[in-house]
Amino acid sequence: MNSVWLIYSPPTINIMLKLLTNPSEAIVKIAKDKKRSPGKALGMLLIAAFMMAIASVVVFAKLGIFTLASAMMGLGDTALLLVGFSVFILVIVIGIVLSWLFKIAATTLGGKGTHIDGLYVVSMSLFAPAVGMLVAGIFFETGTFFLY
């Protein structure tokens, strides 16, 4: 296995935790790293997409929107799985497209950005909102204000 594509590694986890506690230090550490691997950037994007998918499933399960529709169609909890899977795939696809756009913008403005640099930008900027969505989804409560 090529170490360039290694997704899980302790430095990657340390950088992700540092993004929450001290984002500027994490960004400077990644910018100074001369051996940026696509696996680390893709790993951060996959973890952010997974957290967003879990958050969306938790919120939709608490809302109970798909419960009646699933019962009528005989799907059971398949609708919740489809929501989670579609959010996961959507975040990955949008992240890759945005990284391509960041690469185009960087090279147009005279920089030497690569696709991996754009993927780092997108995955690092998605990580904190993904954690926020997961925490908000866990503490989300439905009240009488919704659908009444």
d(CA 103, CA 114): 6
pLDDT in the model for residue 117? 82
- Name the 3-class secondary structure at 35: coil
Where does the pLDDT of residue 12 fall: very low under 50, low under 70, confident under 90, or very high at 90 and above?
low
d(CA 79, CA 1): 37
**With contact defined as beta carbons under 8 Å apart, do 54 and 84 qualify?**
yes
**pLDDT top residue among 30 and 11:** 30
Mean pLDDT for the stretch of residues 2-19: 61
d(CA 28, CA 8): 21
Q: Which residue has the tokens 């973890």?
A: 47
